[in-house]
């Protein structure tokens, strides 16, 4: 009988030994991956600050001073169905003079949304903005009504362009200033999709601003107010802020799963993914994925900290391993976001410079031959094109001027309409 049990006991001993070996190897890999991840996280915290979600929330603002709740109400009141959205969108394509055949449709859309636009006017009277996003929820955090905000920005830009076409200069300037304040409400929110939406909203307002300068003659104080608003709206590099926020959230999510804590992670994860055994088994892989993700994102953040022209061209990259899922899914999308951030910087720089040039002409009777005379009376410092590191391309053209950023070539390569606001031909 004992002879019959001997092979079975031997098999169990072999299995126990293999299991013990697996546990030892697994634990060793987990500890090594954890230490390497902790070391990299320390380096990133030295460079970028606290990597936890607690560092994400903007400064609190008293409700009476916070424009975000009013803007949320305005965005939720917007009614812009597809036919009207197309009419409004076609009216603000910025391909020359607006198509006045669409004006009646635009007026109808504006009338349908007069309450939302009225709330926008009330909101911008408040000095600050904080959307009170619960960042502790990680990827599950509720974000503002982005589609409503986009539609509100479309309506506001159309309102400004229509006012320009009808010669209502001060009304147009006021609408543009409200639109820029709408954009700045997202300025301090460290969420990449929010910053991308902010860029999309801003280019429409800057397009309307270009229409204002091309076709009308605003007075000096109006130009000064608009210039201050453009400058204030771009004090923060939104794409860099959003990328850093995404990095912190994704790092925290992977780390929570790896440590067996899924309470702050997406609740619709498969039940198996939320079990302690599975997370323990996956811990070395998840920690390795988190480290690879942080390495890649560290490079992206360093690139974003540089002006576009100083960034490395085709830097050497290493393909992530097959199990580094987060790295494969999220990092490639950052290149396009980084480029769009540079384009946003260029558009704001061109807009601010154009306003300064118009103010100079009012005071001196003509435009300067170069941009140097604008400093320090009309601009705090010499404008710099992020795509060249030099001043933007400027020349006098008859009674007006042409001003453009070299980012125009990159914008043409991207599937975007934003390049139309990188070149300003002001005829007077």
Following DSSP, what letter does each residue of 240-304 receive, concatenated?
HHHHHHHHHHHHHHHHHHHTT--TTS-TTS-GGGGSHHHHHHHHHHHHHHHHHHHHHHHHHHHHH
Give the H or E element holding residue 397. strand 393-397
Helix axes 82-91, 146-165, angle to 10 degrees: 50
Beta bridge partner(s), residue 272: none
- C-beta separation of 227 from 173 below 8 A: no
Averaged over 108-123, what is the pLDDT?
Answer: 96
The Cα-based distances of 237 to 63, 243, 288, 304, 402 in angstroms read 25, 10, 30, 9, 26
Spatial separation of the C-alpha atoms in residues 38 and 198, rounded to whole Å: 34
Q: At CA 384, angle to CA 223 and CA 338, rounded to 5? A: 105
In residues, how long is the chain?
A: 428
Q: How far apart are CA 423 and CA 407, in angstroms?
A: 10
* Short-list 154, 156, 147, CA closest to 193: 147
For residue 72, the tally of other CB atoms under 10 A from its CB is 19
Residue 30 burial (CB count, 10 A): 20
Residue 199 pLDDT > 80, yes or no?
yes
Give the per-residue pLDDT at 312: 75
Is there a contact between 240 and 300 (Cβ–Cβ < 8 Å)?
Answer: no
Return the pLDDT at 285: 80
Which residue do the tokens 């790092």 mark?
Answer: 251
Distance CA 423, CA 419 (A): 8
Residue pair 134/142 in contact by the 8 Å Cβ criterion: yes
User: Does 413 score more than 70 pLDDT?
Assistant: no
**Does pLDDT of 305 surpass 70?**
yes
Structural domains of the chain in order of their starting residue, each with its CATH number: 2-49+242-328 (no CATH), 61-236 (no CATH), 332-428 (3.30.700)
**Can you tell me which residue has the tokens 């067996």?**
260
Whether the pLDDT of residue 95 is over 50: the answer is yes
Mean pLDDT of the chain: 85
| Tens-digit pLDDT profile for residues 363-391 | 999 999 999 999 999 999 999 999 899 99
pLDDT at 46 over 60: yes
Band the pLDDT of 255: cuts 50, 70, 90: low
Strands 400-404 and 423-426: antiparallel
Q: Tell me the C-alpha distance between 335 and 243, whole Å.
A: 11
**Cα–Cα distances in angstroms (integers) from residue 376 to residues 266, 396, 400, 402, in the given order:** 51, 20, 22, 21
Give the lowest-confidence range in 296-300, 377-381, 399-403: 296-300
Q: Is the pLDDT of residue 268 over 70?
A: no
Element (H, E) at 154: helix 146-165
Kindly list the strands in the beta sheet with 400-404, ordered across the sheet, starting from the edge strand earlier in the chain. 393-397, 400-404, 423-426
SS3 of 16-70: the string is HHHHHHHHHHHHHHHHHHHHHHHHHHHHHHHHHCCCCHHHCCCCCCCHHHECHHH
- Tell whether pTM > 0.95: no
Secondary structure in 3-state letters for 89-145:
HHHCCCCCCCCHHHHHHHHHHHHHCHHHHHHHHHHCCCCECCCCCCHHHHHHCCCCC
């Amino acid at each position: 009988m004992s002879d019959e049990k001997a092979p079975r006991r031997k098999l169990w001993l072999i299995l126990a030994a293999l299991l013990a070996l697996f546990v030892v190897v697994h634990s060793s890999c987990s500890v090594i991956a954890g230490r390497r991840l902790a070391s990299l996280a320390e380096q990133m915290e030295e460079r970028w600050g606290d990597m936890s979600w607690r560092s994400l929330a903007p400064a609190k603002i008293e409700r009476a001073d916070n424009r975000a709740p009013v803007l949320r109400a305005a965005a939720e009141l917007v009614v812009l169905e597809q036919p009207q959205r197309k009419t409004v969108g076609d009216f603000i394509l910025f391909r020359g003079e607006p198509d006045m055949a669409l004006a009646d449709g635009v007026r109808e859309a504006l009338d349908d949304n007069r309450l939302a636009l009225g709330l926008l006017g009330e909101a911008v009277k408040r000095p600050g903005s904080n959307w009170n996003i619960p960042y502790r929820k990680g990827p599950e955090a509720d974000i503002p009504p982005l589609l409503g905000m986009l539609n509100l920005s479309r309506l506001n830009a159309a309102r400004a362009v229509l006012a320009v076409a009808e010669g209502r200069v001060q009304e147009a300037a006021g609408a543009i200033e409200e639109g820029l304040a709408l954009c700045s409400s997202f300025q301090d929110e460290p969420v990449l999709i929010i910053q991308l939406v902010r860029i999309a909203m801003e280019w429409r307002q800057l397009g309307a601003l270009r229409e204002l300068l091309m076709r009308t003659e605003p007075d000096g104080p109006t130009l000064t107010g608009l210039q201050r608003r453009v400058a204030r709206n771009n004090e923060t590099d939104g794409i860099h802020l959003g990328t850093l926020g995404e990095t912190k959230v994704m790092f925290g999510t992977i780390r929570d799963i790896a440590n067996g804590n899924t309470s702050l992670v997406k609740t619709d994860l498969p039940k198996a993914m939320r079990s302690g055994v599975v997370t323990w088994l996956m811990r070395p892989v998840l920690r390795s994925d988190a480290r690879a993700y942080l390495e890649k994102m560290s490079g992206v953040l360093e690139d974003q900290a540089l002006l576009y022209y100083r960034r490395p061209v085709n830097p050497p990259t290493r393909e992530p391993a097959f199990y580094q899922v987060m790295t494969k899914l999220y990092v490639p999308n950052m290149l396009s976001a980084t480029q769009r951030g540079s384009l946003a910087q260029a558009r704001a720089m061109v807009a601010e410079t154009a306003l300064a040039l118009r103010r100079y002409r009012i005071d001196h009777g003509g435009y300067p031959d170069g941009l140097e005379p604008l400093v320090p009376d009309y601009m705090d410092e010499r404008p710099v094109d992020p795509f060249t590191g030099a001043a933007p391309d400027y020349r006098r053209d008859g009674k007006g001027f042409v001003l453009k950023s070299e980012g125009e070539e990159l914008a043409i390569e991207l599937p975007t309409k934003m390049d139309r606001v990188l070149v300003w031909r002001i005829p007077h």
